[in-house]
Amino acid sequence: MSCIYDSKQDSAVVFGSPAQNMKARPITAVSTARYSCQSLVRPTHHTITLGFRSLVPAYLPAGWSSHINPEGQTYFSGTVPLRVVTEERLHVQDVLEQICKWTIYFAQLLKERDIQDVATIELYLELSPEGCLYYFVDHSSRREFWLEDINTEALELPEADSPAHLGYVLEEHYWSHVEHFPMHLGGIPRSIVDDLRGIFVQGSVDQLTSNSSPFPYSPGDCQKFMKLLKLPKGTQYCEQVTDGNVIFTAARLWSVICGHRFSTRYGGDQPTFERERSTLDSPRPSRFLTRFISCALWRIPEIYINKLDKLYEDDIVYADHWRGFMSRCVDDWHTTTTWSLGFLMTNTLLLLNFSYRLPLGSISLLLCIGSILSSIGLSMYHQDQREAVSTEAAAYLDNLQSSRWGFDLAGTLYSLPKALLVWAVVLFAVQSSMLAFHLDGPRPALAIICGVACLTRLSRAYLGGSISCSPRLAWPKLFGSSTKQSTEEGLPLHV
């Protein structure tokens, strides 16, 4: 149960195995503590020893080497008795002993499980209070794996349609591993980078020729990636790419592509051909209450609800489309604020006239104030979303979406500035009409409001293309008709 280290011979002799109460727990390449470290650094002065020239750490045993990831993270790789990487601080003797013991333990476990081709697999180790956290990757199959049967839910992996579909997640994690540890690999085949360039060529063309392409990057981004991935001519790039920075870049992009292929069910029975079309068999929320509220708000919430549903179809959001939507929303709220402020001033001036002081004028003024406050609040809250990345947009939409109501509540909230302004204008028009024709009482006001609502309905139907030039065809489309009548007249049941 001890580890003897001889600094003069640069070797470590490990005896025993981890304690019986220590356990090895499987994790994934994206659930490590790599980006969750919160420790602070306090620099101090050091003494430079006589003749200090070597940059190779003297504390590492034979078969181990130190590397620095392009992001600046130091990690260690070993080759004896198997390939292993870790980000633990091996300059601490106790940490080095534990890593050595766990390495021997997994090497013996591989022999017991009769796993061949050990030269192509690599082990990741991370110490924990209970023992260690681990995962394996296979460089030949480009997959992440473990030495035990484990359910995907325990590893917090997403649900998959089939083992082949799940394979894209395991490949995504493999490339995340290569992204974190690219400097010691010695190289990757050039074909990996060439294939990646071909994917971005196809994705760029798909985006340029289709308005609903599900590819995760815009044509401009694809062009940039293709230029970055264009390898220079030379003998060092003929078969292998040995530059760790290029390997890091290719691994990060391959990780995104594999995650995208899993999300769009690439190679499955029902892949996603269009960005705004769902392929999941998920129940839609009941919208009886929100439909009633939407009618009261001039059906403006339906526009936002439908757009939010399409933007987050199958729980997938595309950063470019989300940023464009948020920019239009914020600009629209700013414009609504300007119009509401001008209308508020008009209402205030007219209320100074005693003859204009009717209840509808006061309500119109309050609606203008509500429109201004809601538009300012929404603009300030969503200002940062105009530059959000995909992960930030997904986190926001996931919190915004209700399990019962979907995006109905959010869409209703987004529509308040414009809907309140429309109501303010309508009440202003009603009161002006009543004053012009010397009308008084709630009945004339209600009649005028109903007339405005019908006029709005006709305008929306006409602009939407559901009213034809023939009155005979327009009436059934606007107000509906029975199946018997539609069949007898030879009209389509749905438009």
In a domain, 53, yes or no: no
pLDDT at 439: 61
Please say whether the beta carbons of 308 and 407 come within 8 A: yes
Q: Tell me the C-alpha to C-alpha distance, in Å, between residue 347 and each of 138, 343, 376, 445.
A: 72, 6, 20, 18
User: Does residue 378 sit in the same domain as residue 487?
Assistant: no
Structural domains of the chain, count: 4
Question: Domain for residue 40, yes or no?
Answer: no
Strands 84-86 and 121-128: parallel
Same domain flag for 175 and 321: no
Closest alpha carbon to 71 in 244, 239, 235, 195: 244
Looking at 157, 188, 207, which one is the last position of a domain? 157
Does residue 179 lie within any of the structural domains?
yes
Looking at the domain assignment, is residue 335 inside a domain? yes
What domain range includes position 99?
Answer: 1-33+59-157
On whether both 421 and 477 belong to a single domain, the answer is: no
Same domain (yes/no): 460, 311:
yes
- Write the DSSP assignment of 165-220 as a string of letters: HHHHHHHHHHHHHHHHS-TTS--EEHHHHHHHHHHHHHHHHHHHH-TT---SS-HH
Pairwise CA distance, residues 231 & 236, whole Å: 10
Same domain, 4 and 110: yes
Task: Assess whether 86 and 121 both reside in one domain.
Answer: yes
Query: Which H helix or E strand runs over 32?
Result: none
Q: How far apart are CA 323 and CA 386, in angstroms?
A: 5
Q: Which residues in 213-302 belong to E strands, given as ranges? A: 240-241
Closest CA to 480 of 468, 494, 469, 459: 494
| Among 263, 246, 349, CA closest to 312 | 263
Flag whether 28 is in a domain: yes
pLDDT tens for the 495 residues of the chain, in order: 334 434 333 333 344 457 667 889 999 999 888 877 666 778 888 777 666 555 556 678 888 999 999 999 999 999 989 999 999 999 899 999 999 999 999 999 999 998 888 899 999 999 999 999 999 999 999 999 999 999 999 999 999 999 999 999 999 999 999 999 999 999 999 999 999 999 999 999 999 999 889 999 999 999 999 999 988 776 566 788 999 999 999 999 999 999 999 999 999 888 888 888 877 766 666 666 778 888 889 889 999 999 999 999 888 999 999 999 999 999 999 999 999 999 898 888 877 765 555 677 788 889 999 999 999 999 999 999 999 998 899 999 999 998 888 899 999 999 999 999 999 988 888 877 776 666 666 666 676 677 666 666 655 554 454 444 444 443 344 334 433 333 333 333 332
pLDDT at residue 475, as a whole number: 36
Are 339 and 345 a contacting pair, CB within 8 Å? no
Task: Count other C-beta atoms under 10 Å from residue 402's C-beta.
Answer: 12
Instruction: Decide if 301 is inside a domain.
Output: yes
For residue 39, being part of any structural domain is answered with: no
Cα–Cα distances in Å, from 71 out to 22, 36, 64?
Answer: 32, 15, 21
Contact in structure between 334 and 371 (CB atoms under 8 Å): no
**Pair 170, 152 in one domain:** no
* Residue that terminates a domain, selected from 108, 128, 157: 157
Written as six digits, the tokens of 336 are 């609504």
What is the spatial distance between Cα 254 and Cα 174, in angstroms, rounded to a whole number? 10
DSSP letter at 234?
S
Q: Do 296 and 362 have their domain in common?
A: yes
In single-letter form, the type of residue at position 399 comes to N
| 421 within 8 A of 344, measured Cβ to Cβ | no
The verdict on 383 and 478 lying in the same domain is no
Distance CA 202, CA 205 (A): 5
CB neighbourhood size of 116 (10 A): 8
Q: Where does a domain end: 262, 280, 298?
A: 280
Q: Phi, psi (5° rounding) for residue 182?
A: -100, -10
> Which one, of 215, 408, 376, 186, lies nearest residue 294 by Cα?
408
pLDDT for position 116: 81
Residues 270 and 302 in one domain: no
How much is the pLDDT for 8?
36
- Shared domain for 81 and 187, answered yes or no, is no
For residues 182 and 149, state if they share a domain.
no
pLDDT at position 349, please? 80
Structural contact between residues 461 and 478, judged by C-beta atoms closer than 8 angstroms: yes
> Does a structural domain hold residue 451?
yes
